[in-house]
Structure 1
């Protein structure tokens, strides 16, 4: 995951999307079907390489989570890239399964790193409270919540969660990793078809963070908790058994943001620093 490219190689950016229903998440796992595994194998086959080239991704999505605007990079030998670049996208389209697509392959600017250069990730979570359930054509991408939802109450709850905080109460803790994140946007809208869509944007996310936040806000929306409750859980800093991690199929990674090319190196260094909150005054 270095920001430096080995001599004789070219760093290539991949913009891609996938339907996560039949994947065990992004990351390669022995004996399981994963997005990374499918793309790496397809790339190996179409370039006639003996070994796969490892991908680095902006956001390692969990099993069942979808992506429309995922970003990854791969370092390829320069000669191989020059030999295949004009046809590589079309060849990948012919080799990849239908539930994962690579949309663009472009040489990355100096210091670009799909993971560490990112300054934000934007997810959407979609849910319907229609008493009849989910449109059958959307069932793999929309959660059914069997209670009427109050959009204003959910947006009031969201306002208590914005900013930089320790989101330990909404994350699955991992050894050596911080749970401090800056939540930039969190809002709900009801689409014309009645589906409620949450926009969730942060500089980064910890494990299960979006699905836990959505679970808390749904509990507010259906009247089981007041709008201040999600913020109280956040301030307490410990997992609350009432916060449910909602199912993954309603979640889609929509977009990843990056700084200007001349700010990539600085962003890489900043992203590698272990964050802490300033002391209380």
Structure 2
């Protein structure tokens, strides 16, 4: 007697076999932070993220949300900022129109037509889903520029701090040496609930470029770390300016580091580092590993940097 067998549906195709729905796109951009209320979108405020996402929405005609390497503060600039977003494949396909440009090339051209003049997207490129602008970064480099005398003041530059006193660059360089390495930078950070303040400061270097060099006559600090806490770069510079002015001894920044406190310093004792103004600070470069290492690096960074309380997201950089 024949037996009725249950109907078995064919297995659904594996995700890899399905057509792609979205493509991840990396954007490399720069901006003059003077007239922005920082990177992160905020209601009623002009921000870099707000302007960029508004421009992307006009072009793509769908909501666009970007993830950034470092959320810079009000007044902070960027020459080498990086972010990523996921765009529908159907949208990407329409961007070149009748031209022979790639979708990524067309996106850069079209963004140039709608972004304000103080934001520029230099390059767009399609990347794998393993690329994460924030957690995938291996290190970040900032530069802080100071003009410490009328001869070096340039009214056309908005990325330089005008300082009222001459600074001793050699003393600032010597005082910086004790801060390099992996430390708890609590005294140099505005901590976030549940997030670590341990960072690896890989480079903290001061120079006054000579004649014919870029930034001639200015004082330039180069600061490199795996990541930065909120206000960390500005606090490092603020502490070292005190040394450069002669108001603090060269070992004072090391005492601030060892204090591990958010209590303000006394006249003779160490406490939290002072915060210098934002306008001299520029995000210069963000470095990423080779493509085959992106996923592992991002997973490692998430483990190290994610706050214990997910209600208090930690910024990779908030200077």
If the length of structure 1 is used for normalisation, what is the TM-score?
0.91
Which stretch shows the higher mean deviation, 141-150 or 37-46? 141-150
1:15 — aligned with what? 28
Instruction: Compute the displacement of 1:41 (Å).
Output: 0.7
Match of 1:121 among 140, 144, 157: 140
How big is each residue's C-alpha offset from its partner over 1:70-129, in whole Å with a ceiling of 9 and x where there is no partner?
000000011211221142211110100000010111001341000000010100000011
For residues 27 and 38 of structure 2, the distance between their equivalents in structure 1, rounded to whole angstroms, comes to 18
Corresponding position of 1:94 = 113
Name the residue aligned to 2:282: 252
Moved more, 147-156 or 196-205: 147-156
Match of 1:278 in 2: none
1:163 equivalent in alignment to 2:174: no
Aligned partners of 2:225 and 2:166: how far apart in 1? 28
Greater C-alpha radius of gyration: 2
> Separation in 2 of the partners of 1:12 and 1:144?
38
Equivalent residue for 1:191, pick from 182, 188, 209 = 209
| Residue in 1 that maps onto 2:238 | 215
Where structure 1 has 5 or more consecutive residues not aligned to the other structure, the ranges are 1-5, 276-281
CA deviation string 1:160-190 (max 9, x = no partner): 1001111000000111211110001100010
- Which of 20, 31, 35 is residue 44 of structure 2 equivalent to? 31
Tell me the secondary structure at the aligned position of residue 159 of structure 2.
coil
Deviations 1:13-54 (A, max 9, x none): 0000000011111111001011011011101101233xx210
Superposed, 1:63-102 pairs within 5 Å as 63-84=74-95, 85=103, 86-102=105-121
Measured in 1, the distance between the counterparts of 2:166 and 2:41 equals 39
Aligned to 1:106: 125
C-alpha distance in 1 between matches for 2:35 and 2:156: 17
Distance of 1:188 and 1:42 partners within structure 2: 38
Q: Distance in 2 between matches of 1:215 and 1:7?
A: 49
Alpha-carbon distance between aligned partners in 2 of 1:268 and 1:7, rounded to the nearest angstrom: 22
Q: Which residue of 1 aligns with 2:262?
A: 239
More displaced 10-residue stretch of structure 1: 66-75 or 220-229 = 220-229
Residue deviations 1:129-179 (CA, integer Å, cap 9, x gap): 1156721112x2111222221111101111010011110000001112111
Structure 1 residue 203 corresponds to structure 2 residue 223: no
Q: Count matched residues.
A: 267
- RMSD, matched Cα: 1.5
CA contact (8 A) 1:130 1:194 kept: no
Query: What TM-score does the superposition give when structure 2 sets the normalisation length?
Result: 0.81
**Is the Cα–Cα contact under 8 Å of residues 148 and 167 in structure 2 kept in the other structure?**
yes
